[in-house]
Amino acid sequence: MSLPPPLGGKSRYVAQRLLFSRQLVCEVAPRNMLDVGCGDGVLLSLVGDQVDRFGVDRLQDPPAHIGSARYLSHDVSTGLPFPDVSFDVVHTSELIEHLPDTRAFLQECLRVLRPDGRLVLSTPNLHYWRNVVEWLTGNQLFFVDYRAGQEGHIRYFCAKTLALLAREVGFRQIRLRTIGDWGGNNFLLKICARLFQSLSTTKNLTLFMLATK
């Protein structure tokens, strides 16, 4: 897979996730977007200058790949520092599992979206097929922390619970799918991973939700 320059240092799994996020953001041709928990700004770079882009994260310094996008340092667990109905798309990746109050966060995403705006959200999938293997072999489930500070994950979602929470706060037209697999050297697991990625929309590593205001 040939990767755009901002993805050059990313793992195949992370690159796949970011490229899928870009696809979901850009397919509605938004005039502007907000990336909540934008990290190093790669997704904003991938979306491109044709979209008016804003990023928010706890980092004090502007992200390395922020480019021409605008950046604000802010703790998003306290709310989003933007007016109501400001954005066509809100994107947030691998963040919701770290937040104590996921309902309040989704309400904030809904608030800053324009009517018919889109939320693009990804999070680790509790129903990841490999968790069945881990359970059967007596191992810890993927992304379920057992040490303080391990990953910082405090919330765990499968497709049903994520959709339920989104509907409760007022989102509609909710679509869910999963992509990706964890890297490994076991040949049998690699074969199983390919099968699951081709056959299942709900059992792969990363859970994506598209929800319309």
- Tell me which of 120 and 15 has the higher pLDDT: 120
pLDDT at residue number 184: 66
pLDDT at residue number 95: 97
pLDDT at residue number 6: 76
CA angle at 181 for the pair 3 and 154, rounded to the nearest 5° = 110
- Min mean pLDDT across 67-71, 95-99, 147-151 is at 147-151
Structural domains present in the chain: 5-212 (3.40.50.150)
Q: What is the mean pLDDT of the chain?
A: 91
Average pLDDT over residues 117-140: 94
Average pLDDT over residues 206-213: 97
Residue 210 pLDDT level (bands cut at 50, 70, 90): very high
pLDDT at residue number 180: 85
pLDDT at 42 over 90: yes
Residue 64 in tokens: 């390395």
pLDDT at residue number 170: 97
CA angle at 124 for the pair 187 and 94, rounded to the nearest 5° = 125
pLDDT at 1 over 60: no
pLDDT at 67 over 90: no
pLDDT tens-digit series, residues 74-116: 999 999 999 999 999 999 999 999 999 999 999 999 999 999 9
Q: Is the dihedral of CA 148, 37, 74, 76 positive or negative?
A: negative
DSSP string, the chain: ----GGGTTS-HHHHHHHHHHHHHHHTT--SEEEEET-TTSHHHHHH-TTSEEEEEES-SSPPTT-TTSEEEE--GGG--SS-TT-EEEEEEES-GGG-S-HHHHHHHHHHHEEEEEEEEEEEEBTT-THHHHHHHTTPPPTT---STTSS-----B-HHHHHHHHHHHT-EEEEEEEE-------HHHHHHHHHHHHH-SSSSSEEEEEEE-
pLDDT at residue number 100: 93
One-letter amino acid identity for 95? Answer: L
pLDDT tens-digit series, residues 172-204: 999 999 998 876 677 777 787 777 777 778 889
Distance, in Å, from the CA atom of 37 to the CA atom of 91, rounded to the nearest integer, reads 9
pLDDT at 2 over 70: no
